[in-house]
Structure 1
Amino acid sequence: MTKIKLCGIRRPEDVAMVNRAQPDYAGFVFAPGRRQVTAEQAENLRRQLDPAIAAVGVFVKVPVEETAALANRGTIQLIQLHGEEDEAYVKALREWTTAPIIRVIRVRGPESLRDLDRYDCDYFLLDTYSGSQFGGLGKTFDHSLLRQARFPRPFFLAGGLDADNVAAAIAGCSPFGVDTSSGIETAGTKDENKIRAFVSAVRKEEES
């Protein structure tokens, strides 16, 4: 069954919507931007989040000890590295925590998907490349690029996914999981109708 990750959770109201929708993962963004939460906010949100839903922390070049601390005290269960952190960073992170690592690959062409086995991670997340911006852009990339790639570890598919296109994306790419943030928002705020529609679209694709 394709896993579902709903990202950019930042308010108690968002957590309530997520709890009702029951995805597999909820994402807290610690990187600068309008969806950013502090460690204290994330801890409060985690306490309200259904324990069955794993929390993923999204980071862009945050000091290793800060990232690991959030995992080690249970605020998050997985670490998503979105800042093109190098292997030295990941090696140090492995020494600080046992939390699984999701390595983001920002896809701009076939060269982005070559030699993926050089990366130390537990999962990949494939997102759309857009200069200095890291995710949450609501733009898709060319999924046909995935047909030529070899993935040594499971991958999440992200980038412009919403209730209207996620079923086709799953059918065409067979990802381990799908990830959305802007695709479940209206005017920059999480929208329960869109959340329900997204989750339903994924589940219906699995049943078909």
Structure 2
Amino acid sequence: MTKIKICGLKRLEDITYVNKYLPDYIGFIFAKSKRMVDDATASQLKRALDKRIKAVGVFVNEPIEHITALCRENVIDLVQLHGDEEETYIKELKQRIPNEIIKAIRLKEALGPEDIQKFSCSHILFDTYNKEQYGGSGLTFNLELIPENMNSFFLAGGLKAENILKVIEECHPYCVDISSGVETNGIKDEIKIKELIELVRNQNKAEY
């Protein structure tokens, strides 16, 4: 069954929406972005979040001490590294926290298994390569660039109601990661969140 992550939450209204429709994960962005939240805001939002939903902290080349503090304070449940973090960084982080780690790879060319296996993380996330920004571009990428025989990966990059079912059918991700695809004028839209979650869940039911 494909899981769902709604990323870039920054308002209490956003939390109200996801509590109503229950995606598997939500994301707080701590990197420079129009969706960035500070620690205090993320902490407030996490306290209001339904405990059935896991909060992912999204970071770009962040000091390890900051990530560690957010994990220990239960502001986030999982860590998503969306920058240039190497294996040495991941290993050090794993020594400090027990939380699952997602490593984002922005695809601009085909990769082999060795390119993925070098990261000792819980999950890989594939996203669109954009030289102007690390993520959240709302742009799709060529799904054929995803290495063959991949399992348990997150998939981001321009996902929305209009393409989500085709994408799931083509590459069977563990989790789809949506941000701009459930927004209107840069703000999370309850109707779009409801529609997308229902589409994915109904497809899951049809498959089982």
TM-score range, shorter chain: over 0.9
Change (3 A) 1:112 1:134: farther
Deviations along 1:117-148, whole A, 9 cap, x unmatched?
111100011100001401111111111223x5
Deviations along 1:141-182, whole A, 9 cap, x unmatched?
111223x5343x510111000011111111100110100000
Residue 184 of structure 1 is matched in structure 2 by 182
Shift of 1:112: 7.3
SS at match of 1:110: coil
Aligned Cα root-mean-square deviation (Å): 1.3
**CA–CA separation in structure 1 for the residues paired with 2:153 and 2:123:** 5
**CA–CA separation in structure 2 for the residues paired with 1:126 and 1:55:** 19
Residue 97 of structure 2 is matched in structure 1 by 97
**CA–CA separation in structure 2 for the residues paired with 1:177 and 1:111:** 20
Q: Structure 2: 5+ residue runs without aligned partners?
A: none
Residue 134 of structure 2 is matched in structure 1 by 134
Residue 81 of structure 1 is matched in structure 2 by 81
Query: Does residue 171 of structure 1 match 2:188?
Result: no
Residue 125 of structure 2 is matched in structure 1 by 125
Shift of 1:81: 0.1
Q: Structure 1: 5+ residue runs without aligned partners?
A: none
**CA–CA separation in structure 1 for the residues paired with 2:67 and 2:135:** 18
Shift of 1:184: 0.4
Deviations along 1:59-86, whole A, 9 cap, x unmatched?
0011001011111111100000000201
SS at match of 1:178: strand
**CA–CA separation in structure 2 for the residues paired with 1:112 and 1:68:** 31
Number of aligned residue pairs: give it: 206
Shift of 1:114: 5.1
Amino acid across the alignment from 1:206: N
Amino acid across the alignment from 1:201: L
- For the 8 Å contact 2:5–2:24, the answer to whether it is kept is yes
**CA–CA separation in structure 2 for the residues paired with 1:134 and 1:70:** 21
Change (3 A) 1:108 1:47: same
- For the 8 Å contact 2:87–2:118, the answer to whether it is kept is no
**CA–CA separation in structure 1 for the residues paired with 2:198 and 2:57:** 24
**CA–CA separation in structure 2 for the residues paired with 1:91 and 1:41:** 28
Amino acid across the alignment from 2:99: A
Residue 149 of structure 1 is matched in structure 2 by 148
Residue 6 of structure 2 is matched in structure 1 by 6
Shift of 1:23: 0.2
Change (3 A) 1:7 1:74: same
Shift of 1:89: 1.0
- For the 8 Å contact 2:7–2:26, the answer to whether it is kept is yes
